Amino acid sequence: MLATLWLVALSSLVAAVVFAWRHEKRPPEVLYQEPGWMPAAKSDRWKCIVIHHSASEEGGAERFDEWHRKKGWDELGYHFVIGNGSDTADGQVEVGSRWAKQKWGAHCKTDDEFYNQHGIGICLVGNFNGHPPDTKQMQSLARLVGFLSREFKIPPSHIYTHGGVTGKTQCPGKQFDVELLKRMVAAK
């Protein structure tokens, strides 16, 4: 009799432990991100993402920063640059100096300046009129855009290309496939 009671008590205890373990509050899924992607203080200005190519086969944030300053701009106009193995590693994401400050961009001029004021500018190194971005660049871009979309509540319909919004440039090149990017982001 006593042994039966003990057995009942023991199995109840085991059941309780298993129940507690199963219903344990799971930590939220950790979003993939790299150092610098999350600014110290998030701005609520960001409404869309604008993709660019450099139209050059070589480059990186430092070189483009020089180019942009020579044009008389304040600093690198993009918020992020994704390397192609020339100045930086293939698929390496560089965080531009504006991003930490959550500062407006200088990458997508329109009369109302909407895309510079509210668009996060990402530039992939390469000229995608001649060839598409390589796999590592697209994977990094999808991870970055996925992170930014979720953190700043930017829907897929607000992922744009430079030429797509201005109609005045082929940037980011005829072989850049924005629909492929959206599918890659959605799959993550």
Which of 36-44, 52-60, 68-76, 96-104 is the region at the interface with Zn ion (rule: CB under 5 A)? 52-60
Q: Is 162 in the site for Zn ion (CB under 5 A)?
A: yes
What is the rounded radius of gyration, in angstroms, for the C-alpha atoms of the chain? 23
Q: Is 52 in the site for Zn ion (CB under 5 A)?
A: yes
Which of 5-13, 26-34, 47-55, 149-157 is the region at the interface with Zn ion (rule: CB under 5 A)? 47-55
Distances (CA, A) of 109 to 137, 168, 184: 25, 10, 27
* Shortest distance (Å) from residue 187 CB to Zn ion: 25
* Shortest distance (Å) from residue 166 CB to Zn ion: 8
Question: Do 108 and 50 form a contact (C-beta atoms < 8 A)?
Answer: yes
How far is Cα 145 from Cα 101, in angstroms, rounded to an integer?
19
Q: Is 79 in the site for Zn ion (CB under 5 A)?
A: no
Nearest to 67 by CA among 52, 80, 51, 78: 78
How far is Cα 100 from Cα 42, in angstroms, rounded to an integer?
9
Query: Which pair of structure tokens corresponds to residue 33?
Result: 């991100």
Q: Which of 61, 144, 154, 171 binds Zn ion (CB under 5 A)?
A: 171
Which of 48-56, 58-66, 74-82, 128-136 is the region at the interface with Zn ion (rule: CB under 5 A)? 48-56
Q: Is 68 in the site for Zn ion (CB under 5 A)?
A: no
Which parts of this chain interact with Zn ion (CB under 5 A)? 52, 162, 171
